[in-house]
Amino acid sequence: MNERGPLFSTYELTKDFDSPAGELQILKGVNFTLNAADMVYILGRSGSGKTTFLNILGGLDHPTSGKVLFEGEDITQMNERQLARVRNKRIGFIFQFYHLLPELTLYENVLLPSLIAGRPEHKWAKECLRKVKLFSRADHYPFELSGGEKQRAAIARALINRPSVVLCDEPTGNLDEETAAAVSALMDDLNRKEGQAFIIVTHDESMASRKHDVYRLVDGVLMKQNRGPVSIEKMP
């Protein structure tokens, strides 16, 4: 575990949006903790605020109020340059729509974040491809891959900078049932064998495993499955 405490801690996190009908509160005092090697699923219907919550955790969006501590640092107080450094070096992202660059090979797509970080990881890129069982496809381009292969490539890319946690936004949303199960099993395997922490948001009830912590966003409140609202001590 991180010597400074949990990977993530949020305290009374809120997020409001303006709408024609007035202010719309998407998140209402969300408290949440993620420790090293945890694998957490966050369920909720479309529009429940799952992606908003994930974006705030990843420093892609800002809360209206509250704190987000990542590895002991309050990212809500960081400027854009500091946030970019955290996102690039310490947090991995997997999205529903892969976001692979079509002009790059699979290997080059996986390697790219390490090049941006200024520390090319050529050997590790190959190892990441082996972990997701795509090493034999390293020289292929995205248009030559199936949907499942593209998502596995996205997982390899998310691992390249050895992030503390990988944030996943509907990672199986574009996949058929069989391929989605395989991708889900791969993430589970990486968590179990490698100790990689994941936060996975999805509206797919079948994806969430009972072996891991499952939360649900309901009316802006984060609740642990079959329990009441999540509560932790407030920051002083």
CB 159 within 8 A of CB 92: yes
Per-residue confidence (pLDDT) for residue 230, from 0 to 100: 54
pLDDT at 227 over 50: no
What is the per-residue pLDDT across 28-66, written as a single tens digit (0 to 9) for each?
Answer: 999 999 999 999 999 988 888 999 999 999 999 999 999
Cα–Cα dist 63/99, whole Å:
25
pLDDT average, residue stretch 119-126: 93
Query: Nearest to residue 57, comparing CAs of 97, 93, 25, 24?
Result: 93
pLDDT average, residue stretch 98-124: 93
Give the rounded percent of residues in the chain with a pLDDT score beyond 90. 63
pLDDT at 84 over 70: yes
Helix, strand, coil percent content, the chain, rounded in steps of 5: 35, 25, 40
pLDDT confidence band for 6 (50 / 70 / 90): very high
What is the per-residue pLDDT across 188-203, written as a single tens digit (0 to 9) for each?
Answer: 999 998 899 999 998 8
CB atoms within 10 A of CB 94: 23
In order of their start, the domains of the chain are 37-51+79-215 (3.40.50.300)
Per-residue confidence (pLDDT) for residue 210, from 0 to 100: 66
